[in-house]
């Protein structure tokens, strides 16, 4: 099987696998236990947090272990809305992940800010949406469907100028591990990280909450993690998360450049055969690992199934939405004509992807699209 769906989840990195196995063998205790076996587990968690803090430019106690990006987003939204009952509204861009949009609208009054045709948020539009009741402003580092990067410092400055009391959540699920992030210097209040996007095991993520912020728990219980998230910590998951992050960042710049070149040449091959093929949001500053590829007159779900039968795994968009067959809110927000959006698939790659895999994909894509257009 050729796996071209890395934005859904990335294969486990060998460094993360061996760190996980070693931690299961040596640090399997309950980190809250007073005895030595527990304290060994506690030391493993503390070591993992310290290592991740160094990699992310923050402090160890600013990191809360979560089950992934969705929980981190939910916890930040919950925390921001708990601070002041007068401030109960949330501003978010139209292309946020469903875990931001759905948690926000379930918990507060949500104002959605549109994006331009390549998915960029206008700082002035973001600022205009903020008001005295704004508790939290949410935007992402990079989009999971089209890869568009936001101009984070300009967005932060715009929000701080008009709403100094509002908190800022950066959903970095598609940025962490792919680009170096210095969360402390960036100046956001919260950031969400999903380890499985960069080769950590599924179920290991982080919420960064800057020093001084109160984070009341969504999960009550044994008051683990400074009473910000109860539940016995996943020690091996945390250790593997730290190993994956270090490994991913080690050569992230070269890896991204290589991915960018691979996708550029893959698209050129396809476009030479199918002149109506379109690369959505290609003109945006974007992560080099993502190609949002569309063709009019095609049913995206049928195409993904045909490619799957041909041994190639791609996606119609966000994995959670693809499973439900819902149209992409991201492509709608970009103003992509529905005829083209219906024919869009996401190709997302990573450091293990090879030229011959993408050659095989390009050939299969051209073949299947031609058959479907007959």
Ligand X SMILES: Cc1ncc(COP(=O)(O)O)c(C=O)c1O
Q: Which of 215, 275, 344, 149 is nearest to 206 (CA)?
A: 215
Q: State the minimum distance, in angstroms, from the CB of residue 293 to ligand X.
A: 18
Binding site for ligand X (CB under 6 A): 68-70, 97, 99, 140, 144, 171, 173-174, 194, 196, 205, 318
Residue 92 vs 249, nearer CB to ligand X = 92
Q: Which is nearer to ligand X, 175 or 246 (CB)?
A: 175
Give whichever of 199 and 205 is closer to ligand X, judged by the CB atom: 205
Least Å distance, CB 67 to ligand X, is: 7
* Contact present, 281 and 119 (Cβ < 8 Å): yes
Of 49 and 178, the one with the shorter C-beta distance to ligand X is: 178
Phi, psi values for residue 211, rounded to 5°: -50, 135
Nearer to ligand X, 8 or 270 (CB): 8
Q: How far is the CB of 326 from ligand X (least distance, A)?
A: 14
**Closest distance of CB 320 from ligand X, Å:** 7
- Residue 189 or 368 with smaller CB distance to ligand X: 189
Nearest-approach distance from CB 9 to ligand X, in angstroms: 8
CB of 150 to ligand X, least distance (A): 11
Q: Would you please indicate which residues are annotated as catalytic (active-site) residues?
A: 320
Q: Are 312 and 361 in contact (CB under 8 A)?
A: yes
């Amino acid at each position: 099987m050729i796996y071209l769906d890395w934005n859904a989840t990335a294969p486990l990195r060998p460094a993360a696998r061996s760190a996980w196995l070693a931690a299961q063998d040596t640090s399997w205790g309950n980190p809250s236990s007073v005895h030595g076996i527990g304290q060994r587990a506690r030391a493993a968690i503390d070591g993992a947090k310290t290592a991740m803090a160094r990699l992310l430019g923050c402090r160890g106690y600013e990191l809360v272990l979560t089950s992934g990006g969705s929980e981190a987003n939910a916890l930040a939204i919950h925390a921001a809305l708990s601070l002041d009952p007068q401030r109960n509204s949330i501003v978010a861009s139209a292309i946020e992940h469903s875990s931001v949009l759905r948690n926000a609208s379930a918990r507060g009054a949500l104002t959605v800010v549109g994006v331009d045709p390549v998915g960029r948020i206008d700082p002035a539009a973001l600022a205009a949406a903020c008001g005295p009741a704004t508790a939290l402003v949410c935007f992402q580092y990079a989009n999971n469907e089209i890869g568009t990067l936001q101009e984070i410092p300009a967005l932060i400055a715009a929000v701080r100028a008009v709403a100094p009391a509002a908190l800022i959540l950066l959903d970095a699920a598609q940025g962490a591990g792919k680009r170096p992030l210095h969360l402390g210097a960036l100046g956001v209040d919260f950031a969400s990280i999903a380890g499985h996007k960069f080769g950590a095991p599924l179920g290991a993520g982080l919420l960064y909450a800057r020093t001084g912020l109160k984070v009341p728990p969504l999960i009550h219980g044994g008051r683990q993690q400074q009473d910000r998230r109860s539940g016995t910590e996943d020690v091996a998951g945390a250790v593997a998360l730290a190993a994956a992050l270090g490994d991913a960042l080690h050569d992230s710049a070269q890896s991204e450049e290589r991915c960018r070149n691979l996708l550029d040449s893959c698209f050129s091959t396809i476009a030479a055969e199918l002149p109506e093929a379109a690369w959505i949001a290609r003109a945006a500053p974007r992560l080099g690992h993502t190609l949002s590829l569309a063709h009019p007159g095609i049913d995206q779900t049928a195409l993904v199934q045909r490619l799957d039968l041909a041994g190639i795994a791609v996606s119609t968009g966000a994995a959670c939405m693809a499973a439900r067959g819902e149209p992409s809110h991201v492509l709608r927000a970009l103003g992509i004509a529905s005829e083209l959006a219906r024919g869009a698939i996401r190709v997302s790659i990573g450091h293990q992807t090879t030229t011959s895999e993408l050659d095989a994909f390009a050939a299969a894509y051209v073949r299947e699209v031609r058959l479907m257009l007959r």
